[in-house]
Structure 1
Amino acid sequence: MKRFAALAILALLTACTSISEVTPAGDGHYTVTTQVRGGMTPWGEVKASSLKRADQYCKEQGKQMHQVDMQTHGVRGWTPQEAELTFACLAG
């Protein structure tokens, strides 16, 4: 029984993270979304994943990432957490 309880707690704390492809949003802006299912991932980590992917995308073009907007959705531990970043790539 203790083993089952330990496995249940571990499953609750484990999260599955996915990061979308960068997609054009018009006016020179792009979006990328990070989604975390399950677990108790801090919002800072969810947002950082989107920011990191956007920064990588812009660096591949020899530009710098500029955050335009960040929207978050979901409730940590209850529903999937989502951070949707809108950004632009600007010349250095």
Structure 2
Amino acid sequence: MKAKIAVCLCVALVACTTVSEVTPAGSGNYTVTTQVRGGMTPWGEIKATSLKRADEYCRGQGKEMQQVDMQTHGVRGWTPQEAELTFHCSSSQASAQ
């Protein structure tokens, strides 16, 4: 019985993370959103996931990611947490030299 309770508690603490597709936001900017449901995921980890996805997107174009804005929504452990990143891809300085 104790094992079943422990498993239920672990399942309740596991977070489900989803990362949106990169979408155009106008003026050469893009957005990507990371959402976590459940669990106690630190905000830094959620933000880092959005930043990593944006960086991969820009690197795929041979460019560097430049953060424009980061908005967070939700309450850890209570409501879904979201980190919405607005960014643009700029030519890398190495290729400009």
Whether these two folds match at TM > 0.5 is yes
TM-score range, shorter chain: over 0.9
Residue of structure 1 equivalent to 2:11: 11
In structure 1, how many angstroms separate the alpha carbons of the residues matched to 2:85 and 2:29? Answer: 10
Give the match's secondary structure for 1:34.
strand
Using the size of structure 2 for normalisation, the TM-score is: 0.91
In structure 2, how many angstroms separate the alpha carbons of the residues matched to 1:74 and 1:7? Answer: 26
Residue of structure 2 equivalent to 1:50: 50
In structure 2, how many angstroms separate the alpha carbons of the residues matched to 1:72 and 1:12? Answer: 23
Deviation at 1:68, TM superposition (A): 0.3
How many residues are paired up? 92
Alignment of 1:1-92 (within 5 A): 1-92=1-92
**Which consecutive residues of structure 1, in runs of 5 or more, have no partner in the other structure?**
none
Instruction: Give % identity.
Output: 73
In structure 2, how many angstroms separate the alpha carbons of the residues matched to 1:67 and 1:8? Answer: 39
Deviation at 1:26, TM superposition (A): 0.3
Deviation at 1:2, TM superposition (A): 1.3
What is the identity, as a one-letter code, of the residue corresponding to 2:8? A
Residue of structure 1 equivalent to 2:95: none
In structure 1, how many angstroms separate the alpha carbons of the residues matched to 2:18 and 2:36? Answer: 6
- C-alpha RMSD of the superposition: 0.8
Deviation at 1:62, TM superposition (A): 0.4
What is the identity, as a one-letter code, of the residue corresponding to 1:91? S
